[in-house]
């Protein structure tokens, strides 16, 4: 994998050093010539030349005499870039960005682009390559910027025209009003002179497209395709919807047929978009079986975009770009009344993955653009403080913070195991619709769709939970109108009843029939995708034939990760109580509450930020848990999640004088997924793990529990059962008291989810009794059993 570790890659001084030998100079000239060829004009001969020159440059760089040749920064940068061209289709996003960033920085500052934009074919190519990476993921705002820089630095007139049109198309697809207005103003004066711009304008403006005849829209697509097939593909994303809305399915099919001719052979992401168009058309024709198959295949082909190294925002963008496929597949299963198929689909597309612990890390650098050194320190000009375009900073930021993922292998048997449970309920949310599928003992009970547009109360409550616990610290600074902590403080108030009864509508009637019709207490296994925010499932109010109760009063609740992670065959069922082996308590020293007395029975306790004895937590785990003994590890403290479960890490106590960056002072989720060559975990765990720390399950974030610490403990650490939290837990006396009760439950013999359910049922009754006795005292820091503490612990 590419890397940015060598400092010379980002050096921007002394281009073309005079001490280079003549053979290197000649090779350098050839390298510049090949690198300047526009990306779209590259043929097999050019690519082979790029490979040959890259190999020659590598030989020069490895020459023992190279140290006497002066500054070789440009040679390093050209070698990286040409190496990328030679293997372009095989490179993932991370490798691509690593290969273009050095030469982008070098040429941008060496030619003083930060003072005034100059024409530079190589720099234009780099911006275009970056734009394509954004385009693949559906990050159209960033793609607009990248293609804009590309056409500003391009030399050839036809290339400038093409890049201008690509930039405009990305602005329209971004649905950003500011960008759209900017592009409209930009092309307004010249549109009458360009048939391509007229076609582009019609295709991307819905009102004009709706007034245009179907055959003229088809002609626009074909005209754009003659100039650039990619433009035709982007325009088709809007045109297909317009044609289907007006019931012109035949013309829509002709558009897809034209695209098939333009892309006789294409990359997987292009094929996936065309398949998405075909799924849309099949669904409009009520051919639900074909729509289902095409949508499934489109999602399968796009999966590599989700797994490659990138930022969470990029993955979210990919998810959103294929929302049509996801919606079509789910609605097709619904139309076909295929509850088993829908459950299979939901299970397959929950992105059950592990974080790649072996991805190369880039050395930490301050996130500021490199600047051209000022040779005359006494002659500092204002230009010395000018920075690179934000795009270069964005690429640098992504390279230093992105992570990759690896899909967990699945089979049809996985879903059979989920459906074979006593009672299972699967959810998938796509925009304003929540789809569900239910089964009991291998028999499908049904499937359905809940419209959040029609059920405004449910929409408001779910959006409030989403704002509170998944968006509040990253996407918005606005607090939601519903004060959940106040509304749910007491049982039986109108506000609490409204919230819990509304949430109870998420439980379909067929599931209620099983719950209330069973003579014994039933286990309800819940499977959700990442777009369902953290919810207090135990307090959901459900009613059946006049009987009303909370969900926790009627069922044991078990949260499902995947068949591989949640399989009953993986659970170690203990015939007797098991020991509390290790407690890690308040390792950063920020908790204000005292630990519960139940911790005192632990065989080992690491308490506070300072290590009290010799062995580090890492050493203790490696020495004591390598065989995954029957026992409990309890972690109580804050969790450093840094807005993404893939970046989450446990803090460990450290010896006096140890740096906070010392490897023994923390455990990141990627490390917890990591294994040695012999298959042993880097950080082994006992059979049971309790994570009493903020948002440790990762619920509500991208990929949900799939890349959270709960999954990491099972898949990587080798634990069998995990309890984790789905929101930020309050640092209140009741939380400490609940830790004590949870400690007692964790050492009992029943499956851990049953123990947690019994405890939550007991605390639910306490909450109700506290409320009926007159309400909570005025103090905000009490032992009051607030449901946004105890109801947000989940057993996996």
In percent, the amount of the chain with pLDDT more than 90 equals 49
Query: Mean pLDDT over residues 102-116, rounded?
Result: 76
Contact 25, 69 (CB under 8 A): no
Dihedral sign computed on CA atoms, order 485, 486, 491, 492 = negative
Query: Mean pLDDT over residues 518-528, rounded?
Result: 92
CA–CA distance, 141 with 784 (Å, rounded to integer): 47
Closest by CA to 332, choosing from 298, 277, 293, 281, is 293
Query: Mean pLDDT over residues 445-459, rounded?
Result: 95
**pLDDT score for 478:** 56
- Tokens of residue 21, six digits: 């030998």
pLDDT in tens, 362-387: 344 433 333 333 334 344 333 433 34
**pLDDT score for 111:** 67
Residue 55 has pLDDT above 90, yes or no: yes
* Residue 731 exposed, middle or buried by CB count within 10 Å (0-12, 13-18, 19+): middle
Query: Mean pLDDT over residues 462-489, rounded?
Result: 72
Residue 461 has pLDDT above 90, yes or no: yes
Residue 699 has pLDDT above 60, yes or no: no
CA–CA distance, 303 with 308 (Å, rounded to integer): 9
Dihedral sign computed on CA atoms, order 677, 682, 688, 689 = negative
pLDDT in tens, 2-49: 444 444 445 545 565 568 899 999 999 999 999 999 988 889 999 999
Mean pLDDT of the chain: 84
Q: What angle do CA 500, 506, 507 make, to 5 degrees?
A: 100
Name the more confident of 209 and 144.
144
How many other β-carbons are positioned within 10 Å of the β-carbon of residue 591? 18
Query: Mean pLDDT over residues 433-448, rounded?
Result: 95
Q: Which of 53-62, 445-454, 655-664, 786-795 has the lowest mean pLDDT?
A: 655-664
CA–CA distance, 710 with 691 (Å, rounded to integer): 8
Closest by CA to 241, choosing from 179, 173, 195, 140, is 173
CA–CA distance, 139 with 383 (Å, rounded to integer): 31
pLDDT in tens, 384-400: 333 457 888 899 989 98
Residue 107: pLDDT band with limits 50, 70, 90: confident
Cα pseudo-dihedral 186, 192, 195, 200, rounded to 10? 40
First and final C-alpha spacing in the chain = 35
Residue 785: pLDDT band with limits 50, 70, 90: confident
DSSP line for 702-715: TTGGGGSHHHHHHH
Q: Please report where in the chains the tokens 């890049």 appear, as a residue.
A: 163
Query: Mean pLDDT over residues 351-367, rounded?
Result: 51
CA–CA distance, 437 with 706 (Å, rounded to integer): 20
Q: Where are the domains of the chain?
A: 412-563, 577-795
Query: Mean pLDDT over residues 790-796, rounded?
Result: 92
Q: Which of 53-62, 571-580, 614-623, 771-780 has the lowest mean pLDDT?
A: 771-780
- Tokens of residue 794, six digits: 């989940």
In percent, the amount of the chain with pLDDT more than 70 equals 83
Q: Would you say the pTM of this structure is higher than 0.75?
A: yes
- Tokens of residue 257, six digits: 């047929």
How many other β-carbons are positioned within 10 Å of the β-carbon of residue 430? 22
Contact 196, 227 (CB under 8 A): yes
- Tokens of residue 702, six digits: 């991208």
Residue 426's DSSP bridge partners are 437, 527
The CA distances from residue 516 to 369, 419, 495, 510, 699, in Å, are: 63, 19, 26, 10, 28
**pLDDT score for 412:** 54
Residue 191 has pLDDT above 80, yes or no: yes
Query: Mean pLDDT over residues 714-737, rounded?
Result: 86
Secondary structure of residue 451 in the 3-state scheme: strand
φ/ψ bin of 266: left (φ > 0), alpha (ψ from -120 to 50), beta (otherwise): beta
Residue 194: pLDDT band with limits 50, 70, 90: confident
CA–CA distance, 225 with 230 (Å, rounded to integer): 7
**Half-sphere exposure of residue 544: CA atoms within 13 angstroms, side-chain side:** 18
Name the more confident of 686 and 206.
686
Closest by CA to 291, choosing from 327, 255, 247, 249, is 327
Residue 541 has pLDDT above 80, yes or no: yes
Contact 423, 514 (CB under 8 A): yes
Residue 179: pLDDT band with limits 50, 70, 90: very high
**pLDDT score for 610:** 85
Contact 535, 500 (CB under 8 A): no
Secondary structure of residue 38 in the 3-state scheme: coil
Q: Which of 68-72, 88-92, 280-284, 776-780 has the lowest mean pLDDT?
A: 776-780
Q: Are strands 721-725 and 793-795 parallel, antiparallel or unpaired?
A: antiparallel
Residue 291 has pLDDT above 90, yes or no: yes
């Amino acid at each position: 994998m590419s890397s940015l570790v060598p400092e010379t890659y980002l050096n921007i001084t002394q281009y073309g050093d005079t001490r280079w030998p003549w053979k290197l100079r000649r090779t350098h000239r050839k390298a510049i010539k090949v690198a300047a060829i526009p990306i779209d004009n590259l043929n097999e001969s050019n690519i082979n030349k790029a490979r040959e020159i890259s190999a020659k440059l590598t030989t020069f760089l490895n020459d023992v005499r190279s140290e006497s040749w002066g500054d070789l920064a440009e040679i390093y940068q050209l070698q990286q870039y040409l190496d990328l061209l030679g293997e372009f289709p095989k490179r993932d996003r991370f490798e691509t960005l690593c290969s273009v960033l050095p030469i982008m920085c070098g040429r941008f500052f060496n030619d003083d682009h930060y003072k005034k934009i100059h024409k530079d074919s190589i720099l234009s190519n780099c911006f275009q390559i970056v734009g394509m990476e954004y385009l693949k993921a559906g990050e159209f705002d960033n793609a607009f910027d990248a293609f804009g820089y590309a056409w500003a630095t391009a030399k050839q007139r036809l290339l400038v025209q093409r890049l201008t049109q690509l930039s405009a198309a990305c602005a329209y697809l971004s649905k950003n009003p500011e960008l759209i207005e900017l592009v409209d103003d930009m092309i307004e004066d010249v549109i009458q002179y360009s048939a391509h711009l007229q076609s582009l304008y019609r295709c991307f403006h819905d009102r004009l497209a709706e007034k245009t005849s179907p055959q003229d829209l088809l002609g626009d697509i074909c005209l754009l395709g003659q100039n650039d097939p990619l433009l035709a593909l982007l325009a088709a994303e809007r045109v297909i919807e317009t044609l289907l809305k007006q019931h012109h399915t035949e013309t829509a099919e002709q558009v897809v047929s034209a695209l098939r001719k333009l892309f006789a052979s294409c990359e997987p992401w292009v094929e996936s978009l065309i398949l998405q168009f075909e799924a849309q058309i099949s669904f409009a024709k009520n051919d639900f079986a074909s729509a289902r198959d095409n949508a499934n295949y489109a999602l399968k082909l796009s999966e590599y975009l989700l797994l490659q190294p990138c930022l969470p925002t990029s993955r979210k963008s990919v998810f959103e770009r294929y929302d049509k496929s996801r919606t079509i597949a789910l609605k097709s299963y619904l139309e076909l009344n295929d509850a088993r198929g829908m459950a299979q689909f939901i299970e397959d597309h929950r992105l059950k993955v592990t974080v790649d612990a072996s991805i190369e890390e880039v050395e930490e650098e301050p996130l500021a653009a490199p600047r051209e050194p000022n040779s005359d320190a006494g002659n500092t000009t204002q230009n010395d403080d000018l920075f690179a375009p934000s795009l270069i900073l964005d690429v640098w930021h992504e390279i230093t913070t992105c992570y990759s993922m690896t899909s967990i292998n699945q089979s049809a048997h996985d879903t059979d195991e989920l459906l074979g449970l006593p009672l299972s309920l699967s959810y998938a949310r796509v925009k304003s619709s929540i789809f569900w599928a239910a089964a009991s003992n291998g028999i499908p009970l049904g499937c359905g769709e809940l419209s959040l547009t029609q059920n405004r109360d449910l929409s408001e409550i779910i959006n409030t939970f989403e704002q509170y616990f998944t968006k509040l610290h990253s996407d918005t600074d606005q607090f939601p109108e519903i004060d959940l902590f106040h509304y749910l403080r007491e049982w039986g108030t109108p506000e609490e009843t409204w919230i819990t009864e509304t949430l109870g509508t998420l439980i379909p009637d067929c599931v209620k029939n099983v719950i209330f019709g069973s003579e014994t207490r039933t286990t309800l296994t819940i499977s959700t995708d990442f777009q369902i925010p953290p919810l207090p499932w135990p307090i959901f109010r459900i009613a059946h034939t006049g009987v009303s109760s909370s969900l926790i009063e009627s069922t044991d609740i078990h949260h499902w990760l995947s068949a591989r992670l949640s399989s009953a065959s993986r659970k170690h069922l203990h015939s007797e109580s098991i020991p509390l082996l290790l407690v890690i308590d308040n390792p950063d020293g920020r908790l204000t509450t005292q630990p519960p007395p139940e911790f005192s029975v632990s065989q080992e306790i690491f308490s506070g930020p300072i290590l009290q004895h010799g062995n580090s937590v890492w050493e203790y785990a490696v020495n004591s848990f390598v065989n995954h003994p029957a026992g409990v590890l309890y972690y109580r403290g804050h969790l450093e999640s840094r807005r993404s479960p893939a970046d989450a890490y446990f803090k460990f106590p450290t010896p006096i004088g140890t740096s906070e960056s010392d490897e023994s002072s923390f455990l990141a989720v990627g490390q917890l997924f990591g294994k040695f060559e012999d298959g042993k975990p880097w950080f082994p765990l006992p059979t049971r793990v309790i994570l009493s720390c903020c948002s440790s399950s990762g619920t509500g974030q991208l990929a949900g529990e799939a890349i959270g610490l709960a999954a990491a403990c099972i898949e990587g650490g080798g634990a069998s059962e995990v309890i984790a939290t789905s929101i930020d837990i309050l640092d209140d006396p009741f939380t400490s008291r609940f830790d004590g009760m949870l400690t007692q439950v964790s050492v009992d013999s029943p499956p851990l989810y049953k123990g947690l359910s019994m405890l939550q049922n007991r605390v639910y009754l306490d909450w109700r009794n506290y409320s009926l006795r007159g309400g909570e005292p005025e103090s905000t820091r009490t032992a009051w059993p607030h449901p946004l503490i105890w109801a947000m612990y989940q057993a996996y």
